Amino acid sequence: MEKTGGTRRVVVAIDDSVYSNLTMNWYAKNVWRPGDEVLLAWNVEPHPATFGTVNLMTGDPDVISKILSEQSVHIEQTIEKFQQKLIDAKVEGRVIQLHEAKAGPAIVHAAESENAGMIVCGSRGLSTLRRTFMGSVSDYILHHAHVPVLVCKFDPLQTH
């Protein structure tokens, strides 16, 4: 399942949350080893603050164009931020954009298609009740991936 030649290919699940930054930093400090190829996998979803309650089918074309332009800029800035994190951590890798309805299946599919040998993801530490209603990306990955999964759980009170 891993890339040949002794190199590990590792998918690190990211989004634009503080937990992704902590996960990437933790992986680079504690798990990464020379020769690892890191794929920062980001399931690009519309930014809720950008779209709000605008109905794209009946809205003003100028407003829709502005919203889509802002979304494009947000995506480019986020990708640049994560590419810089790889450079700063001296970690070989790249950012891959995923475009699926849900992040959990997107990350699992990316790991399979990229022949990754491991998935690393963060956890927001949701309670059992919130996880039941909202779902959990890390929980989905843990139960559906066919490779080892490392879940970095962080105390929400210590992330700020």
Q: What is the pLDDT of residues 115-133, one digit of tens each?
A: 999 999 988 655 554 444 4
pLDDT at residue 134, as a whole number: 41
Domain boundaries, the chain: 9-158
At how many degrees (to 10) do helices 61-88 and 18-30 cross? 20
Residue 141 and residue 129: Cα distance in Å, rounded?
A: 19
Backbone torsions φ then ψ of 87, nearest 5 degrees: -65, -50
Give me the CATH topology for the region 9-158: Rossmann fold (3.40.50)
Q: What is the mean pLDDT of residues 59-77?
A: 81
Residue 68 and residue 76: Cα distance in Å, rounded?
A: 12
- Overall pTM > 0.75: yes
Q: What is the pLDDT of residues 82-124, one digit of tens each?
A: 899 899 988 999 999 998 888 999 999 999 999 999 999 988 6
Q: How confident is the prediction for the chain on average, in pLDDT?
A: 81
Residue 93 and residue 42: Cα distance in Å, rounded?
A: 13
Query: Is pLDDT above 60 for 148?
Result: yes
